[in-house]
Amino acid sequence: MTVGLILFFILVITINAQKGNLPDCKSGPLSTFPICNQSLPSRQRAADLISRMTTTEKITQLVTTAAAIPRLGLPKYEWWSDCLHGVGYAPGVSFGGDLPAATSFPMPINLGASFNTALLHRIFSTISTEARAFNSEDRAGLVFLSPNINIFRDPRWGRGQETPGEDPFLTSQYVYEYVNGLQRGEDERYLKVAANCKHYAAYDLENWNGTDRFHFDARVSDQDLIETYLPPFETCIHDAKVASIMCSYNSINGIPACANQFLIKTIARESYHLDGFVVSDCDAIEIIMNDHNYTSTVQDTIAVALHAGTDLDCGQFYLNYTQQALDNKTIIETDINQALERTFNVLIRLGYFDPPEQQPYRKLSHINVDTIEARQLALDAAQQSIVLLKNTNKALPLNLNQLRNKKIALIGPTANATRLMQGNYYGTPPFLIDPITGFQEVTKNYSIDISFAYGCKISDDDESGFVEAIELAYTSDVVIFFGGIDQSIEAEGHDRESIALPTVQLTLIQQLEKIVCSPLHVVIMSGSGLDLSYIRDSSESDSLIWMGYAGQAGGLAIANVMFGQYNPGGRLPITFYPASYINDVSMSDMQMRPSPTNPGRTYKFYTGQAVFEFGYGLSYTTFNYSWYNNSMNSIFSIRSLMKNNYNEKKLHLQFYRVNVTNIGQIVGDDVVLAFIIPPRNSFNDPSPPLRKLFGFKRVQLNINQTIQVFFPLNIDSLLTVAYNGSKWLEPGSYKILIRKQHMHTVYLRGRPTRYS
């Protein structure tokens, strides 16, 4: 969505918020029509309603700000609400009255770092409850244009923070929990709220080197499309059964996404079985003609978008030019009817036309928002997402008793961060606990002096604050530097020019290291990876933590972690590359595999030395793994697999069990990651993945406790994707790794066989 459009809507939020009354199916104009007959199929109800509209009225319903149709008792409806990590600002959302705030959870990149599907489901169920409460009190719609499930393939991408990370499997698990948490509740008759998976497809560039997202043509091989870019959307549509998807600004191989029949009609509808509608990103219909130059007239633009299957326009293009397209006969009225049947069908499934008193979701109100449970969940999520990257000589956790009557200095531009911790697409939170406040809260009974010096800004060259910071550090017993980046560096519409820690921050860290009485601690806030190799390697910095954008309770979460009130267990959902990475590959190069001009992308294909790898993260305790499957079958016939499991790629081939033991001295969480290394000598893929994630589980273990973790191995995990996008079962050895430990090998025997 364009930044300008979002800012405009925020300015007029109280005007455009969802204020319309519900259609009256008891005594209103619609009450005697089939639209109000709950015994009929939803599509039949939708078709009948549309048949009663004039052509002019139908056209007013093709845009996200749909006009009222008074003669039918149909109120104005705003389709665009938002809840990326909590109910957020959008044209359909307003804060005020009994609903001044909504719970602000950590950003999706943090939630990916938790590697905890149970936590994700709880969060998204809570968000849907708050979203419904906002709707019940006329402060939000029922359709929420979230989540963002594009793959975070390049560290420069400004919106990577909105995603759970770089891995298709992790992102697929995330979106499954997101959509189910949002759409499904205790009343199976209705969607709780409608989710929207975006941006379809291969969208991950904002504005880089003179090319912006409105003009970018993503050149993607069928192999990368099937293997990397589309799996989260397949899970979203086919498995989670999302109510809608959003087509993106960019073109894919020369065809704008919102005009791409192959992607929308053939893949999303026919292959993935989308039972819902497609909405354009805001003004994406217009740019088909004006930016991509794919069409030359407004009539043809309307036609290619509607015929591709883009049902709803976030913008004004359909409203302004659909009648011209009808008059010009580039479309027929049936095209409009089909689009409206898809959108109104979703409203019917949401209970929009049914009596409120019979729907439990309509009973949700402000008392269900910002509850004690939601506040605790936001804190838990922030704590679970924090990643400990370095801890020399067990410098952490800090000992509260040993620090009595001593002084801790918090230095740096993010030590007093508040709104920064919300990332983007946020709403009004009930509170924002900055790190200073969090440290004061944890230490309040220990007579510890918590002092703060700004030191420097995030990214300019002003060193005027260095003197104060150095003086404070010199007189303190413990010094913690809080740095990172913010929305001025990474944001929608703005990709990064560098992935290094801003120079002014690194300079201040180096000066602090020279005068501190004990090694420095460093905490980084960011929604993406940074080259932190200096801090990693410095003997003068004992600890390093990445805390992402941790939401409303971020400051308390980081304090709890650093003082040992919570043992960190988060793992990186992205690769942290060296700063030189951006010189090695063009951001517009969509290829995942290495080439002479590309060192490879993500942990699956990157051939260089990462600063920190995907899945990396430390704990205050130590875990041990042992295999529990020595007697299990390790050899499978390709012919037998094809015979028994054809077109059942999700069918479990084997269940593996791993014993995880806490052999340390502190209770803690472990994220058990299961990878597979395919054969190096592939018949169909000259550059197979170095490894790929096929399972993960977060578990908490007491001291000396052992927990058995189960991992299903599916045929899908063994498939090789060829350059033309076809999938194959190939003979060879497939190594099973638990984190980096080789535990088992699966052997496939037979001839290479095409699976699909």
- Identify the band that residue 642 occupies on the pLDDT scale cut at 50, 70 and 90: confident
Give the pLDDT score at 153.
97
Q: Where are the domains of the chain?
A: 3-100+126-363, 372-578, 623-754
376 three-class SS: helix
At 252, which helix (H) or strand (E)? strand 251-252
Looking only at the bridges linking them, the beta strands covering 652-662 and 251-252 are unpaired
The one-letter code for the residue type at 581 is Y
Cα of 631 vs its chain's centroid, Å: 39
Q: What are the Cα distances from residue 606, in Å, to 112, 202, 576, 609, 717? A: 20, 19, 11, 8, 20
* pLDDT of 248 above 90: yes
**Percentage of the chain lying above the pLDDT 90 cut:** 93
**Percentage of the chain lying above the pLDDT 70 cut:** 96
For the entire predicted model, the pTM comes to: 0.95
| Alpha-carbon span 505 to 621, nearest angstrom | 31
Looking only at the bridges linking them, the beta strands covering 407-411 and 478-484 are parallel
β-partners of residue 656 are 711
Phi, psi of 698 (to 5 degrees): -100, 130
The pLDDT tens digits for 331-351 are: 999 999 999 999 999 999 999
Q: Which of 251, 276, 267, 109 is nearest to 183 (CA)?
A: 276
* pLDDT of 649 above 80: no
β-partners of residue 410 are 452, 480
The pLDDT tens digits for 45-98 are: 999 999 999 999 999 999 999 999 999 999 999 999 999 999 999 999 999 999
Average predicted confidence (pLDDT) for the chain: 95
β-partners of residue 277 are 244
Give the pLDDT score at 603.
98
50 three-class SS: helix
CATH superfamily of 3-100+126-363: Glycoside hydrolase, family 3, N-terminal domain (3.20.20.300)
* pLDDT of 15 above 50: no
Phi, psi of 666 (to 5 degrees): -135, 140
Decide if 528 contacts 574 (C-beta within 8 A).
Answer: yes
Residues whose CB is less than 8 angstroms from the CB of residue 575 and which lie 6 or more positions away in sequence, other chains included: 155, 166, 529, 602, 603, 606, 610, 612, 613, 614
| Alpha-carbon span 584 to 612, nearest angstrom | 18
Decide if 599 contacts 643 (C-beta within 8 A).
Answer: no
At 560, which helix (H) or strand (E)? helix 554-562
Give the pLDDT score at 286.
98
* pLDDT of 19 above 60: no
- Identify the band that residue 4 occupies on the pLDDT scale cut at 50, 70 and 90: very low
Q: Which of 324, 408, 380 is nearest to 55 (CA)?
A: 324
| Alpha-carbon span 10 to 25, nearest angstrom | 32
* Crossing angle of helices 42-51 and 333-349, rounded to 10°: 130
What CATH number belongs to 623-754?
2.60.40.10
| Alpha-carbon span 583 to 588, nearest angstrom | 13
| Alpha-carbon span 285 to 281, nearest angstrom | 8
Q: What are the Cα distances from residue 501, in Å, to 497, 534, 579? A: 12, 10, 9
Name the burial class of residue 26, with classes exposed (0-12), middle (13-18) and buried (19+) by CB atoms within 10 angstroms of its CB. Answer: exposed
The pLDDT tens digits for 162-211 are: 999 999 999 999 999 999 999 999 999 999 999 999 999 999 999 999 99
* pLDDT of 259 above 80: yes
The pLDDT tens digits for 388-444 are: 999 999 999 999 999 999 999 999 999 999 999 999 999 999 999 999 999 999 999
Residue 556: both structure tokens together: 């308390």
Give the pLDDT score at 241.
98
What CATH number belongs to 372-578?
3.40.50.1700
Residue 363: both structure tokens together: 């009973």
At 514, which helix (H) or strand (E)? helix 503-515
Please indicate whether residue 311 is annotated as part of the active site.
no
DSSP letter for each residue of 275-322? -SEEEEPTTHHHHHHHTS---SSHHHHHHHHHHHT--BBSSSHHHHHH
Reported for 325-328, long-range contacts at CB under 8 A and 24+ positions apart, including other chains, are 325/298, 325/299, 326/55, 328/299
480 three-class SS: strand
173 three-class SS: helix
* Residue found by looking up tokens 């801090």 in the block: 535
| Alpha-carbon span 431 to 436, nearest angstrom | 14
- Identify the band that residue 2 occupies on the pLDDT scale cut at 50, 70 and 90: low
Decide if 559 contacts 120 (C-beta within 8 A).
Answer: no
Catalytic hit among 281, 486, 531, 542: 281
Q: Report, as an integer, the average pLDDT of 466-479.
A: 97
* pLDDT of 16 above 60: no
- Identify the band that residue 257 occupies on the pLDDT scale cut at 50, 70 and 90: very high
325 three-class SS: helix
* pLDDT of 8 above 50: no
Burial 214-252 (b: 16+ CB within 10 A, else e): bbbbbebbebbbbbbbbbbbbbbbeebbbbbbbbbbbbb
Give the pLDDT score at 290.
97
At 660, which helix (H) or strand (E)? strand 652-662
The pLDDT tens digits for 578-604 are: 999 999 999 999 999 999 999 999 999
Sheet holding 520-525, edge to edge: 387-391, 541-546, 520-525, 478-484, 407-411, 449-453
Q: Is the dihedral of CA 208, 213, 216, 218 positive or negative?
A: positive
| Alpha-carbon span 624 to 664, nearest angstrom | 9
Give the chain's radius of gyration (CA, Å): 26
| Alpha-carbon span 149 to 165, nearest angstrom | 9
| Alpha-carbon span 79 to 67, nearest angstrom | 11
| Alpha-carbon span 623 to 515, nearest angstrom | 36
- Identify the band that residue 5 occupies on the pLDDT scale cut at 50, 70 and 90: very low
Phi, psi of 313 (to 5 degrees): -100, 115
Give the pLDDT score at 124.
98
**Dihedral angle at the C-alpha atoms of 488, 491, 497, 499, nearest 10 degrees?**
90
Residue 230: both structure tokens together: 């589309």
